[in-house]
Amino acid sequence: MSTSAKYWRGIPQRYRLEAERCASCGMEFFPPRLVCSGCGARKFMPITLGDHGKLLTYTVIRVGPSEFCEQTPYAMGIVELEGGVRMTAQIADVDFDDLEVGMPVRIEFRKIREEGQAGILCYGYKFVPAD
Amino acid sequence: MAGIIGYGAYVPRNRIKVEEIAKVWGADAPSYKRGLMLQEKSVPSPDQDVITMSVEATKHALARAQIDPARIGAVYVGSESHPYAVKPSGTVLAEAIGATPEVHCADFEFACKAGSEAMFVCMGLADAGSIEYGLAVGADTSQGAPSDALEYSAAAGAASFIIGRDPGVAKVIDTYAFMTDTPDFWRRSYMHYPRHAGRFTGEPAYFKHITSCANGIMEKVNMKPKDFAYVVFHQPNGKFPQRVGKMLGFTKEQIEPGWLSPTLGNTYSGSSPMGLTATLDVAKPGDMILMVSYGSGAGSDGFVFEVTGKIDEVRNVAPRTRELLDKKKYIEYGTYAKYRRKIRMGE
Ligand SMILES: [Zn+2]
């Protein structure tokens, strides 16, 4: 089944890291949500996340889904961005020996997947070492 | 006249050496290295294409331009390797940087000249007053057929320019164009690799168009080679830009800063635009720069720029092009063949 519509709806987050900050307690959410999990408030202000953060944890995928066979093995990580939002994505352009909890990373725009040979190309964010 | 308000480049991390390609095809690496003045070339990862490189180069250009992307009225991406056959690269780029929806997008294609023509059109629109800022990108992830001479040079990279009505970091003094119908290099629909007319790609194609365009614009602005601090030519390999520079009366020193091809390869639509970014990285206020692109088919766009005092404020705001070129990881031919999809996979 095509995921084009789902991908399209997520473009503001996938391309531009559009997020929200709770108007009453200041907690940041990515992706945006309806109710603040910190204080229960429902008013948010739109923000754009910064593109630098630090690696909280990671793993190396050595047996990946067949559509990612060109990239296997590859590293996945959870990163805490400046501002506190945590997100999961692939860590590209990294030598596995250099992977370290706490390492500085930044976000790059990459192709995430292809919907088969004839489908759409899906773009979004990945992490790369911030050197 | 219009000016370059911000500029930026992007180079993928992977490199493959001439020796590594020559080894696979039983070719003589030293003669290729000497003949083409090429050492290695950049290779995109499987998750990188013209769109992703354009976005990253444009982030650098925006950092230097310090403008609100919503004020960009035109987004033009020049490439011969747009990821889609039908669907614009420009809309993804415009969406990724926040220039949508009040923006005009178009994808350009003209072999290696598509990037400079995006610049050319943005300058015209800025001068005409129909846009406040225009974004012009030259980017490619081109492929040469395995074992073909082009396989040693076809590389990946992008250059991005924010063009505006003010002089910015480099004022456009004049533009010029020289075109003829010359079938020196082409790719038909559904064909994976381009074809070229061998030696024909030299004299009547690259050299004729670049010298004619360079002489034409120098005559138009009444300047001589010695009046320029730097010159940037299209770089299909390391040798051609040096030779055409000598033919025109430029020195090695004038060519050097923008001469990236020996360790980058030919980034096609990105080639002379990336050379310009590397030249702006080292230029001083008041320097005059001549840039002449070349695209097979065939034609050259010529530009004369005057660098302004603003260059010193912005050049270190984003990575310099040669810094990007120095960050590299060598890969073997097998990895390269996998990354460039030269291996036939099962269904
Ligand atoms: Zn809250």
Torsion of CA A36, A41, A43, A45, to 10 degrees: -50
Q: Is A61 on the interface with B (CB under 8 A)?
A: no
Chain A: residue whose CA lies nearest to B86: A120
- Report phi then psi at B246, rounded to 5: -65, -40
pLDDT of residue B252 exceeding 80, the answer is: yes
Q: Is B80 a catalytic residue?
A: yes
* Three-state secondary structure call for residue A90: strand
Q: What is the pLDDT of residue A1?
A: 43
Residue with tokens 């020796």: B19
Tens-binned pLDDT, residue by residue, of chain A (131 aa): 457 889 999 999 999 999 999 999 999 999 999 999 999 999 999 999 999 999 999 999 999 998 999 999 999 999 999 888 999 999 999 999 999 999 999 999 999 999 988 999 999 999 999 97
Asked whether B121 and B248 are in contact (CB, 8 A), the reply is no
β-strands B230-233, B288-292: how paired? Answer: parallel
| Residues B159-203: tens digit of each pLDDT | 999 999 999 999 999 999 999 999 888 898 888 888 888 766 788
A9 class by beta-carbon count within 10 Å (0-12 exposed, 13-18 middle, 19+ buried): exposed
Chain A: residue whose CA lies nearest to B89: A121
Question: To which CATH superfamily is domain B170-311 assigned?
Answer: Thiolase/Chalcone synthase (3.40.47.10)
Which chain A residues contact residue B56 at CB under 8 A?
A: 108-109
Q: Which CATH number fits domain A50-131: 3.30.70.1380, 3.40.190.10, 3.40.50.1820, 2.40.50.840?
A: 2.40.50.840
For A109, the closest of B52, B84, B327 (CB atoms) is B52
**CATH architecture type of domain B3-169+313-339:** 3-Layer(aba) Sandwich (3.40)
Strand partners, B108: B78
Cβ count near B59 (within 10 Å): 19
Greater confidence, B139 or A66? B139
- Report phi then psi at B241, rounded to 5: -60, -35
In chain A, domain spans:
1-49, 50-131
Task: Tell me how far CA of residue B81 lies from CA of B33, B44, B144, in angstroms.
Answer: 26, 12, 12
* Three-state secondary structure call for residue A56: strand
CA-based torsion, A79, A111, B133, B210: positive or negative: positive
Q: Is B109 a catalytic residue?
A: no
For A108, the closest of B56, B95, B329 (CB atoms) is B56
Confidence band for B102, pLDDT divided at 50, 70 and 90: very high
The distance of B277 to chain A (nearest Cα, Å) reads 20
Q: Is A121 in Cβ contact with B98 (below 8 Å)?
A: no
Mean pLDDT of chain B: 96
* DSSP for residue A98: G
Q: What is the pLDDT of residue B213?
A: 98
For CATH 3.40.47.10, the residue range(s) in chain B are 3-169+313-339, 170-311
pTM above 0.95, yes or no: yes
Q: What is the ipTM of this complex?
A: 0.95
Q: How far is the CA of A41 from the centre of ligand 1 (A)?
A: 5
HEC string of chain B equals CCEEEEEEEECCCEEEEHHHHHHHHCCCHHHHHHHHCCCEEEECCCCCCHHHHHHHHHHHHHHHHCCCHHHEEEEEEECCCCCCCCCCHHHHHHHHHCCCCCCEEEEECECECHHHHHHHHHHHHHHHCCCCEEEEEEEEECCCCCCCHHHHCECEEEEEEEEECCCECEEEEEEEEEEEEECCEECCCCCCCCEECHHHHHHHHHHHHHHHHHHHHHHHHCCCHHHCCEEEECCCCCHHHHHHHHHHCCCHHHHHHHCCHHHHCECHHHHHHHHHHHHHCCCCCCCEEEEECCECEEEEEEEEEEECCCHHHHCCCCCCHHHHHHCCEECCHHHHHHHCCCCCCCC
Catalytic residue, candidates B20, B40, B56, B80: B80
